Amino acid sequence: MTVETVATPWRARAKAATAGPMTDVPRPENTHDLSGLGERRTKALKVHGATDWWFYPLLALVAAALIIVSLGADAFDRDGSPQRGQRDGEAFIYGPAQLADGIDPTNGHLRHVVRDFGVSPRAVRIGVEPGRGQPAPDSVGALFQIDPADAAAFAGKPVRVEITFRRISITTAQGLATSLQNGGPAFWSGGPLPAENGVMAFDLPAVDGAPPKGLGIWVISDKSDYNYGVEITRVSMKPVS
C-alpha cells in the first residue's frame, strides 16, 4: 500500500464534504438574543440599553456643576444696578433676584448671594466688618439701588420699609437700620434684630431734594471677632401719603 492510495479516498471524502451546500449559522444582531445568557442577564442588558440615553446629559450637568463650584461666588459677583420692583397696591416689592442684582456694599459692609443649586438667588446675606458701630448721617452702608421710575413715587414722601429677614446661625448681627439715600445727609431708623425670623419695619421721613437713589441698609454689630450679618429675602417700600 502506498501513501497515495491511502490519501486518495481521504481527499475524495474531503472534497465531497466541501462541495456540498453549507448552512450558515445566523449571527445574532443583538446581544439580547444570545442563548445561554439567562433571563436575568437578558433583562439587565435590556435595562442597560434603555437607559443609555441619559448618561451623556447627566455627564454634562455634572461637568457644569463642577465648573460653577470651581469658580465660586466670583462667577456671579458684579456691581449692583438700579432695580424695578413689583407693585402690590401702593407698595414696591423687591425679591431675592432684585436684591442680588441691586445691592452695592460700602462702609465695611459685605454681600453674599445665597443661590438654589448655585444659580437662582434665594436670599442675600449682608454682613459688616468689626468696629463699624452705628451709622452716621453721611453713611451709606449696603446700598440697594432703586430704579428712577420707582424712586419717583417716594419723592417728598415718608416711606414705610419692611425687610423680611432670617437670622444666621452663630454670626447674626444685633440690629439693623435703614435710610433713604439721595446724596445728602441721611436719617437712619433702626433697632435690635428680633429673636425669631420675621419682618422688621422702619418708618423713614421724607427727604428733601432729589428722589432717593436707593435704600441704605446698615448692619449693627458691636462684636470685634468676626463679620456679623443677616439674611434678607424681601424688601417692601411703600410711600405714605
One-letter amino acid at 26 equals P
- Phi, psi dihedral angles at 97 (to 5 degrees): -65, -45
Residue 207's pLDDT is 92
CA 190 to chain centre: 30
Report the chain's C-alpha Rg in angstroms. 36
Residue 116's pLDDT is 87
User: Model confidence over 206-229: pLDDT tens digits?
Assistant: 998 899 999 999 999 999 899 999
Q: What is the mean pLDDT of residues 172-194?
A: 96
Share of the chain above pLDDT 70, in %: 69
User: Is the Cα dihedral 126, 131, 133, 136 positive or negative?
Assistant: negative
| Residue corresponding to grid cell 456643576 | 65
Point out the least confidently predicted range of 3-7, 96-100, 150-154. Answer: 3-7
Higher pLDDT, 81 or 25: 81
Residue 57's pLDDT is 72
pLDDT of residue 7 exceeding 60, the answer is no
- Phi, psi dihedral angles at 78 (to 5 degrees): -155, 165
Count the alpha carbons within 13 Å of 124 in the hemisphere toward its beta carbon. Answer: 28
pLDDT of residue 24 exceeding 90, the answer is no
User: Model confidence over 63-89: pLDDT tens digits?
Assistant: 655 544 444 444 444 567 999 999 999
pLDDT of residue 49 exceeding 70, the answer is no
* Dist CA 158 CA 149 (whole Å): 17
User: Model confidence over 107-163: pLDDT tens digits?
Assistant: 999 999 999 887 899 999 999 999 999 999 999 999 999 999 999 999 999 999 999
Point out the least confidently predicted range of 21-25, 105-109, 175-179. Answer: 21-25
Contact assessment for residue 79 and residue 101, using Cβ atoms and an 8 Å cutoff: no
Every domain of the chain with CATH number 2.60.120.260 lies at 76-239
HEC per residue, the chain: CCHHHHHHHHHHHHHHHHHCCCCCCCCCCCHHHCCCCHHHHHHHHHHHHHCHHHHHHHHHHHHHHHHHHHHHHHHCCCCCCCECCEEECCEEEECHHHHHHHEEECCCEEEEEEEECCCEEEEEEEEECCCCCCCCCCCCCEEEEECHHHHHHHCCCCEEEEEEEECCCCCECCEEEEEEECCCCCCCEEEECCCCCEEEEEEECCCCCCCCCEEEEEEECCCCCCCEEEEEEEEEEEECC
pLDDT of residue 22 exceeding 60, the answer is no
* Dist CA 166 CA 234 (whole Å): 10
How far is the CA of 55 from the CAs of 49, 52, 60, 65, in angstroms?
A: 11, 6, 9, 15
Q: Model-level pTM?
A: 0.69
Q: What is the mean pLDDT of residues 195-212?
A: 95
Q: Which CATH architecture has domain 76-239?
A: Sandwich (2.60)
